[in-house]
Amino acid sequence: MQEGLPLDDVKRKLRVEQAVRDFLHVLDHHELDLEEGLVAWNMLGFTMFQDQLPDATHEEIQQRLMQYSQNLYNSAHPA
C-alpha cells in the first residue's frame, strides 16, 4: 500500500487505474489508433459533463471540461 494515503484514496486510485486499463482495452478491441482514442476520450468527457449540466450550451460544457482538466493537471503538478 502507498504510504501516506488513506485506504479510501488508495481504493479510488486503483478503481481509476482499472477504468483507464478497461478503456485502453476497448480501444484495442475496436482497433482505434492514438488519435481516434483521444477523440473518444474527449467525447466521453464531454458526454459526462453534458449529463451533469443538461441545460448548458456546448460552449459552456467545453469551458467547464477545459477548466476541470486544467485544475486536475495543476493539482498533480503543484507550483
Q: How far apart are CA 38 and CA 9, in angstroms?
A: 27
Residue 56 scores a pLDDT above 60: yes
pLDDT at 72: 86
pLDDT at residue 63 is higher than 70: yes
Which of 24, 71, 64 minimizes the C-alpha distance to 46? 64
For residue 4, is it left (φ>0), alpha (ψ between -120 and 50) or beta? Answer: left
25-40 pLDDT tens trace = 999 999 999 999 999 9
CA pair distance 50, 58, nearest whole angstrom: 8
42/23 Cα distance (integer angstroms): 12
Domain boundaries, the chain: 7-76
Whether 45 contacts 65, CB under 8 Å = yes
pTM: 0.68
Give the confidence band of 2 by pLDDT, cuts at 50, 70, 90. Answer: low
